[in-house]
Structure 1
Amino acid sequence: MVKKVVLAYSGGVDTSVCIPFLKNEYGIENVIAFAADLGQGDELDAIRDKALLAGASESLVGDLIQPFIKDFAFQAIRANALYEGRYPLSTALARPLIAKHLVDVARKLGADAVAHGCTGKGNDQVRFDLAIATLAPDLKVLTPAREWGMSREETIAYGEKYGISAPVSKKSPYSIDLNLLGRSVEAGPLEDPFVCPPEEVFDITSSIEEAPDQPEDILIGFEEGNPVSINGVSLDPVELMRKANLIAGIHGFGRIDMIENRVVGIKSREIYETPGLLLLIRAHQELESLTLPVDVIRTKQMLEIKWAELVYQGLWFSALKDAIDGFFDRTQNDVNGFVKIRLFKGNATIIGRKSNTSLYVSNMSTYGSDDNFKHNAAEGFIYIWGLPNRLWAMRKKQKNK
């Protein structure tokens, strides 16, 4: 019999309704709400109060901003992580961190179980369940929103019986997730993949029309694969992410509109705003092109696809991801230097790069008078390189006689 449960709480409809539902339908006396501060702004005081009004015995907020950027976002940057080549995992990266602290709170307070408000159609249920099962297989995981069988309208009505106001209205029908890495928006008119997203769904990026009419060049510095400065000013991870978001967002960079393949097998239309994270990944990719050997780059590119899939699919705490992390860590020792990017009207164009660990050797690449490349070595190289192809062609020709 569960007597005390720690609920991952966001302040939305489902997690708010989970509180009276756990108390009244599951018979749990002590429901503790845990909200994670991931840099989403000053709404957390209201979220804390809302949980108490909904019937939570305690309402806790954990400041997770620093580890979120340093230990999760920066890993994604070093991995050039783009799910399906486009989505930089701004929401997915938060879930294993929340799950870890959910477990920690449960252990500290002696809870019998943890709970979340994810539905049966989303990705987050997978991410939470797998993370918790890995970190604390003995803890029971309660998933009321996956089990109560209520429609959206019925869920809202259930909550209203216990004084829970619904944040979603006919005027604003969107489901929004926000943290320091960006915003994800879905539902409402966006469920028609042919409908152009109305400007009202965007909040942290300018439209092309409203973006500045003059370009802005910025310089991003890296040390061992981690971004450390913008325009020559050293910044801590959180300050740097905020600065990157601001600069890129002003110029309308970082909007993504995609059809995404969810873990549960369905496709969904997602709108993302990830200006800073996408900008830093692009800069990091460019610096790697200057500092890593070609075979390392090509091997890493294959592993980057798998890394992004693992994180998206909820396998942050997995043996394969841990092994890939080890490879990535080794590759980043020489990823040091600066990348210059021009921001203009939704675009981020690389216009320069330099590094003291660069593999670009000017007197080997130049066509000028100081060229040291051994041109006469090319003939023998080409002969050996093309030999298997010539032998294959000769055999094919003989066979066709």
Structure 2
Amino acid sequence: MKKIRSIADISALNGQVDHILTLFSGGLDSTYLLELLKESNIKVTALAVDMGDGIDSKLLSYIAAHYGVDLIIEDGRQSFVEHSIVSAIQAQAMYLGDYPVSSSLSRPVIIKHAVEIAEKLNCGAICHTANQSQNSLRRLNGAIERSSFDGFYGSPYEYSAISREEKITSLSMSGLFEFSGRNVSGDSNLWCREFESGVLDNPEGFDLCESLFHWSVWNPALQLADSSVSITFQKGMPTRVNGTVMPLIKMVEYLNKHIGSYQIGRYIGFDHLENDEKVLEIREAPAASALMSAYRHLEVAVLETEVLRMKTLHSQTWTNEAVEGRWGSHLHQATQAFISQIAQSVSGTVTFSLSQGQLFMSNIVADKARYLTDRDAWEIQVANERSQRTITTENTLQLISTSA
């Protein structure tokens, strides 16, 4: 097994590989990895994959130039939408029903780009920076293991634990002072922004800074004129907002901006590690809140109740496989096939009224709906149909239908 698990393993790559690809976000951990590699005799390429929450190319270029490494920025947004977001909406991918899963959705896309570039550049290793308190460790490693890559891979932080303070001090001594004010770790993409560690380490006493939030900030200037929004699905695919056709990337950006301006889409909860330890995470995902809620209302409106019960089981399985990093497993593919098939029946429009922190359905128009629109008329019609009687040959009343 060609596994990178410690700083010693990084040193041992000298003489074994000529070129390393590192996953690079410009954050503390990925920058410190470049610090670890600066004394090696190995060519380094830093890869940043834009997943939709913006790439600070100026900062990335500055750090890459500081260490004399090559920088590649890839646009992974469309791959993320096609591979992950549509499936997550249809699967109602909520971790234990608490919050939308996020980094679980992005890891396979990031690794797909990384493997393609590593093979193109003949890199002998792919390094990332997940540690033992981050589920991304097994998700990233798992995605690489299922790929075509046959070089070294992994994170030096798996077995080499270094405090945030030590990393910040080391980078400051190297001339990079940008990290001294960072007090949390974060991961963000088009679908969700999430934060952990640092001041969020201890659930029994943590600081929740308003400055962490970017989308879900009360902002009347961005709020919609009538404080309502409608979302349309066609065969399980989100297609329109307020009647306007939008590609999904633009739709998610629009909803994050405008629904988020009502402080909608904030979540706080625990995530479990490999041995079931729990860590606290903060998230904001306004678009995910609206899109998954709209889809759920529509599927309940059009699908048989027994199908919905089975769908709930498949959704839980799909989400668990994604969370555990088992994308592409037989079980994941089977649940995806079921979810995709019934999604073909989910079409219609849901309208929400918006108020501070709340998203409330105010109208639904579903194609081939099972809901009643005139309950009194339905009662009269059904009563008439089910109570019809006729005279038998024995001149006695025969109940034609007695179904309840």
Q: TM-score range by the shorter chain?
A: 0.7 to 0.9
SS in 1 for 2:267: strand
Matched, 1:331 2:342: yes
Matched, 1:200 2:211: yes
Cα offset, 1:214, TM superposition: 8.8
Partner residue in 1 for 2:392: none
Q: Structure 2 CA distance, aligned partners of 1:330 and 1:96?
A: 23
* Superposed counterparts of 1:83-232, under 5 Å: 83-136=95-148, 138-169=150-181, 172-194=182-204, 195=206, 197-207=208-218, 216-232=227-243
Q: Is the 8 A contact 1:289 1:297 kept in 2?
A: yes
Partner residue in 2 for 1:396: none
For 2:110, give the aligned amino acid: I
Partner residue in 2 for 1:40: 53
For 2:22, give the aligned amino acid: L
For 1:187, give the aligned amino acid: S
1:8 to 12, 19, 23: 23
Partner residue in 2 for 1:389: none
Matched, 1:292 2:278: no
For 1:14, give the aligned amino acid: D
Q: Is the 8 A contact 2:301 2:371 kept in 1?
A: yes
SS in 1 for 2:188: strand
Q: Structure 1 CA distance, aligned partners of 2:129 and 2:281?
A: 20
Cα offset, 1:209, TM superposition: 11
Cα offset, 1:196, TM superposition: 6.3
Change (3 A) 1:28 1:296: farther
Q: Is the 8 A contact 2:256 2:285 kept in 1?
A: yes
Q: Is the 8 A contact 1:65 1:238 kept in 2?
A: yes
- Give structure 1 stretches of 5+ with no counterpart: 383-401
Matched, 1:321 2:336: no
Q: Is the 8 A contact 2:89 2:291 kept in 1?
A: yes
* Superposed counterparts of 1:238-253, under 5 Å: 238-253=249-264
Q: Structure 2 CA distance, aligned partners of 1:374 and 1:293?
A: 22
Change (3 A) 1:127 1:42: closer
Partner residue in 2 for 1:398: none
Q: Is the 8 A contact 2:224 2:258 kept in 1?
A: no
SS in 1 for 2:158: helix
SS in 1 for 2:287: helix
Question: Could you state the TM-score of these two structures normalised by the residue count of structure 2?
Answer: 0.85
Cα offset, 1:309, TM superposition: 1.5
Cα offset, 1:2, TM superposition: 1.6
Change (3 A) 1:208 1:193: farther
SS in 1 for 2:20: strand
Larger mean CA deviation between 225-234 and 189-198 belongs to: 189-198
Larger mean CA deviation between 139-148 and 74-83 belongs to: 139-148
Change (3 A) 1:356 1:213: closer
SS in 1 for 2:233: strand
Give the root-mean-square deviation of aligned CA atoms: 2.7
SS in 2 for 1:92: helix
Q: Structure 1 CA distance, aligned partners of 2:271 and 2:132?
A: 17
CA offsets 1:26-74 (integer angstroms, 9 cap, x no match): x351111100111222513321331232332x10000111221232111
Larger mean CA deviation between 348-357 and 4-13 belongs to: 348-357
Change (3 A) 1:67 1:5: same
Q: Is the 8 A contact 1:5 1:28 kept in 2?
A: no
Matched, 1:233 2:244: yes
Change (3 A) 1:168 1:300: farther
Cα offset, 1:168, TM superposition: 4.4
Q: Is the 8 A contact 1:21 1:144 kept in 2?
A: no
SS in 2 for 1:304: helix
Cα offset, 1:76, TM superposition: 0.3
Q: Structure 2 CA distance, aligned partners of 1:307 and 1:293?
A: 20
CA offsets 1:158-181 (integer angstroms, 9 cap, x no match): 333433334242xx4122222221
Larger mean CA deviation between 64-73 and 278-287 belongs to: 64-73
Q: Is the 8 A contact 1:20 1:55 kept in 2?
A: no
Work out the number of aligned pairs and report it: 377
Cα offset, 1:337, TM superposition: 0.8
CA offsets 1:121-175 (integer angstroms, 9 cap, x no match): 2111111000000013523204122243332222223333433334242xx4122
Cα offset, 1:244, TM superposition: 1.1
Matched, 1:75 2:90: no
Q: Structure 2 CA distance, aligned partners of 1:368 and 1:359?
A: 15
Q: Structure 1 CA distance, aligned partners of 2:24 and 2:194?
A: 17
Larger mean CA deviation between 93-102 and 65-74 belongs to: 65-74
CA offsets 1:187-215 (integer angstroms, 9 cap, x no match): 33323324462322222112599997996
Q: Structure 2 CA distance, aligned partners of 1:254 and 1:86?
A: 12
Q: Is the 8 A contact 2:222 2:257 kept in 1?
A: no
